[in-house]
Homo-oligomer: A and B are copies of this chain.
């Protein structure tokens, strides 16, 4: 049976054109079935204007769009007929295998939680981007869905993150670390103390203890567990420092005619370097803890990245990661 993926045609800075292009690529390269949610009229017009065939792509007509400025709760309140809300509803109703959006992350988490619904026993779904490190990738969970957390939530983040990295990203026995202000067991505040204890005692988690932020980019762990406030700081600073350094590096190469020549010589390696460290190259972040695969791609995603995100969402749907978390929760292999 062919995999069927719902894609929010109006999520992201480059929607709907790049989304439609990405869907086209996914159909052509992987033979997936795609449902695009959004204004049928606009989608058809943009496709026609850009000579993109919609063969193999269904359109599910909706009348609203959630913007980056809308509040997260709009997805279940005044924007119930948005491309995002209706896409999530189609997923919840079993019309497809996964949902992909490049839109408002806060709304996506709220919608996933309230429309697709939580896995039984999971306290709070988490937003969990897969990010580059010096070699390979790691998952940062939670990176902003839950600004205030209890220790039990952090334990569940570790469990869900490890299940994803193992089943979807093929990392064997993923190392789970707790983001903290030092590596010693007693570091941090009350939340970290309690979370350390729960993560350490959970037999289903390969817990490597506290990790310092300094070591995250080098390979401190495969899954970095944090409350959503700390995780959001890490996510955004990671991107900010990398972008500022790349900006300054450009200045180095443009300094004079000699350095411009050197830059030309080195360009192929520099392009690879840029790709290696580019957070957006990795396509996205699952919303973990809900019953079906909900996958967020970068807000500035282009067609290639939408295609990658669709592909990853299929991996996720077929991986058994959600079922594993369901089984673990059902067998109470988690405290409480």
Contacts and interface: CB of A to CB of B under 8 A. Distances in A.
Given A216-B240, A217-B244, A259 B252 contact: no
A183 to B, nearest CB: 11
Contact of A244 (B134, B190, B237, B247): B134
A214 B239 contact: yes
A259 B249 contact: no
A236 B261 contact: no
B270 A252 contact: yes
Contact of A233 (B179, B242, B263, B276): B179
Which interface residue of A212, A214, A239, A255 has the most chain B CB atoms within 10 A?
A214
A133 interface: yes
A274 to B, nearest CB: 10
B277 A248 contact: yes
A188 interface: yes
Interface in A182-228: 188-190, 212-218, 228
Interface residues of A, number: 54
A230 B216 CA distance: 15
Interface of A: 133-134, 144, 147-148, 179, 181, 188-190, 212-218, 228-230, 232-245, 247-249, 251-253, 255, 258-259, 261-263, 265-266, 269-270, 272-273, 276-277
Contact of A241 (B179, B217, B229): B217
A266 B253 contact: yes
A181 B270 CA distance: 31
B213 A134 contact: no
A248 B217 CA distance: 11
A102 to B, nearest CB: 18
Copies, count? 2
Nearest to A144: B181
Contacts of A230: 229-230, 233
A148 B192 CA distance: 11
A134 B249 CA distance: 11
A261 B269 CA distance: 14
Given A181-B232, A215-B240, A251-B273, 13 more contacts: A147-B188, A181-B228, A181-B229, A189-B229, A213-B232, A213-B237, A214-B237, A217-B237, A217-B243, A248-B277, A252-B272, A261-B262, A262-B265
Contacts of A133: 244
B213 A236 contact: yes
A266 B273 contact: no
Nearest to A269: B252
20 contacts: A147-B188, A181-B233, A188-B229, A213-B235, A213-B237, A214-B239, A214-B243, A215-B240, A217-B237, A217-B241, A217-B245, A230-B233, A241-B241, A241-B242, A248-B276, A249-B273, A252-B272, A253-B269, A258-B266, A259-B269
